[in-house]
Amino acid sequence: MLEVRDLSVCINSAGREVRAIKSVSFNVAEGETLAIVGESGCGKSMTALSLLRLLPPGGRIDRGSITLDGVELTTLSETEMRRIRGSRISMIFQEPMTSLNPVLTIGAQVSEGLRLHRGLSKQEAFRESVSLLHQVGIPSPEARCGDYPHQLSGGMRQRVMIAMALSCKPLILIADEPTTALDVTIQAQILDLLNQVKRESGMGMILISHDLGIVAENAARTAIMYAGTIVESASTKELFDNPLHPYTKGLLDSLPQKAAPGIRLPTIPGQVPGLDNEVRGCGFCDRCRDPEKECRIEPPPVRETANGHMVRCWKKT
Ligand SMILES: Nc1ncnc2c1ncn2[C@@H]1O[C@H](COP(=O)(O)OP(=O)(O)OP(=O)(O)O)[C@@H](O)[C@H]1O
Ligand SMILES: [Mg+2]
C-alpha cells in the first residue's frame, strides 16, 4: 500500500546542506505494522515527516519516491498533498502538547478534520467527535469536547491525538513514539486500541519506537535505523532471532530481559554521528566491535536473503 524507494532528505544546518536521510526504502502492506527503531537522532521522525511532506524549514526531499495506493506523493502540489494528509495518511506526533492547538477546544479540533475531509456538517462532526473520543477511552466525551488541551492529562491528550488521527479512516497511520510519555497501563491500552482499529479497518501502521519490547509485541516487520539510513530490516521474529548487523546485535544485547541478575548490562559505546560529520564509509564503524578495513572507506553494500532479511554491512556473518 505504501512504498518508499531510495528516499533521501537534505536539511540546511547552520548554512550548510547536509543529508539527514540516506537511501531509505521500505513497504507497508494493508493491515501490517512496520516498526522503525533506532537511537535518538537517527532520523525516525524525519523519515515520518517526509512521508507527509512536512519537513522542518530548510528540509527537502532530494531523491526517491513515495507511493501511497499507487499515487506518487513526492511530486504532488501542496494543495493535493493537503488533501492526502489527515485523510489517507495520518500521524500521531511525538509531542501531544505541542501538536494540539492550546486555544481551541478538544471538540473543535477533532471536528475540524471531519468537516474538512469528510464534509460533515457542524452537528454531524460534533456527534462523530464524541463517538471517536468515546472509542479512544475518554470518559464523559461530550463534556470533554468543551475542554482545552491544558485541562487534560498527558494520557488523555495522547488519546485525543489518536482520535484525530483516526477520524478520517486513513490508509496509513504513522505513530511516532505514541506511548513514550505515558505510564505502562495506558501504554498497553493505547496499543491495544491501535491494533484493534488496524484489524477492523485494514489500516497499515508505521510504529516508531525505541522500545524493543513494544516492537516485538506489535510489529510484524522491523527496520533498524542508524545515522539516517536503514541498516537492517526483516520480519520482527527473524530480526530478534537472527540479527545480522552489529548495531542490531548491540541493541538486543542491551535488553534487560537478556541479562543475568547482578551483571551490568552491555551498552554500545559512543554516539550517533551528528549530521555535520561527513561519513565516508559505514556510519557505525566507530562504534563497531570488529570493523573491517573497507568499513572506513566505502559505504557498506546491501545484502538481502531469500526470506526478505536485509542488512547493510561489510561483514559476511
Ligand atoms: N528542525 C530541524 N532542523 C535541523 N536539523 C534537524 C531538525 N530536526 C531534526 N534535525 C536533525 O535531524 C536528525 C534526525 O532527527 P530526528 O528528529 O528524525 O531523530 P529521531 O530518530 O526521531 O530521534 P528521537 O528518538 O529523539 O525522536 C538529527 O540529527 C537532528 O538533529
Ligand atoms: Mg523523533
Q: Which atom of ligand 1 is nearest to the CA of 13?
A: 4
* 194-209 per-position pLDDT tens digit: 898 899 889 999 999 9
Give residue 242's pLDDT band: very low, low, confident or very high (50, 70, 90).
very high
Q: Is the CB of 227 inside a 6 Å radius of any atom of ligand 1?
A: no
Residue 265: per-residue pLDDT:
67
Q: Is the CB of 187 inside a 6 Å radius of any atom of ligand 1?
A: no
Q: How far is the CA of 123 from the centre of ligand 1 (A)?
A: 40
Q: Which atom of ligand 1 is nearest to the CA of 39?
A: 25
Residue 237: per-residue pLDDT:
95
Assign residue 80 a region (left: φ > 0; alpha: ψ between -120 and 50; beta: otherwise): alpha
* 46-84 per-position pLDDT tens digit: 999 999 999 988 899 999 999 999 999 999 999 999 989
* 140-162 per-position pLDDT tens digit: 999 999 999 999 988 888 889 98
Interval 171-196 mean pLDDT: 85
* Mean of per-residue pLDDT scores for the chain: 88
In the predicted structure, residue 96 carries a pLDDT above the cut 70:
no
